[in-house]
Amino acid sequence: MKKIGIIGCGWLGNHIAEHLSDQYEIFPTTTSVSKIQEFKSKGYFPTLVSFPDEADAEMKQWSVVSILDAVIIAVPFSGLRGSQIPMTGKRENLIRFLGDFQGQIFYTSSTGVYPDIEKEFTEDDKPASEVESESFILEKFPQTNILRLGGLMGGERLLKNYTISHLDQLVNHIHYADICLVIEKMLNNHSQSKVYNIVAPVHPNKEEIINAQKSLPYSGERTEKGRLISSEKLISELDFEFRYPDPRYFHL
């Protein structure tokens, strides 16, 4: 059975691990001692490691990296949109941890790389070489696939469960199940050096979604203007069909 490493097995990493566990041996990392036994009980092979903000001269290469077929990096190595948080040391630690890995790499970035203006953005609007939080890993591992994820939703993560403002704002959301399916397809295709926006292709506003999740009617009109992230490249190149194309129905 092939082997896959998941650096940062939190909410998203756990979903990815569960989705792929019937096809791959799972080698997750965690910062929590309490999760080690939990992962072992699932048949995973965990590693306890953290990536401090300051460069750690003692950071060693991942002991299992030489036997892995692919690595998914599902822990943030960038600040929130618009923030200027220096992360040079943390990124350096990641590079050391990966050593000279030659297999497939998936790096979970964010649609936050695009500016907050009313426009439909494609991957060409912001090449990865111009995004500091993406280019650092491509310089060392040019085979890395950059996955620019929309707002993470699905399961217990539903808009109706949160206090929400700007209800008329269009969303760029993605269900975790579709992220898992994209990664699975890219693994099977042996994809390398790709940059994809992973965002549901339908963009309702927040009020539409909340009403749908509460089984309430929506009588308003959806604006056609807003900050929209296109997933057309993903759909076209991967021949990808979303399981959850419309955020109004993420709860079903």
The predicted pLDDT at position 77 comes to 72
Pull the structure tokens for residue 130: 């111009």
Rounded CA separation 72/217 (Å): 40
Q: How far apart are the first and last CA of the chain?
A: 33
The predicted pLDDT at position 79 comes to 53
CATH class as words, domain 3-249: alpha beta
Task: State the DSSP H helix or E strand holding residue 175, giving kind and residue range, or none if neither.
Answer: strand 173-175
* Domain ranges across the chain: 3-249
Ramachandran sector of residue 201 (left: φ over 0; alpha: ψ -120 to 50; beta: rest): alpha
Q: Indicate the SS3 state at residue 92.
A: helix
Q: For residues 132 and 110, is the Cβ–Cβ distance under 8 A?
A: no
Rounded CA separation 96/205 (Å): 42
The predicted pLDDT at position 182 comes to 98
The predicted pLDDT at position 81 comes to 47
The predicted pLDDT at position 53 comes to 86
Q: Indicate the SS3 state at residue 233.
A: helix
The predicted pLDDT at position 220 comes to 85
The predicted pLDDT at position 84 comes to 45
Q: What is the mean pLDDT of each run of 10 residues along the chain (252 residues)?
A: 96 98 98 96 97 90 98 78 61 95 97 95 97 94 98 97 94 98 98 98 97 93 89 98 98 96
The predicted pLDDT at position 82 comes to 42
Catalogue the E-assigned strands of 74-226: 104-110, 119-121, 145-149, 151-153, 173-175, 195-198
CA distances from 207 to 157, 225, 230, 242 (A): 16, 16, 21, 22
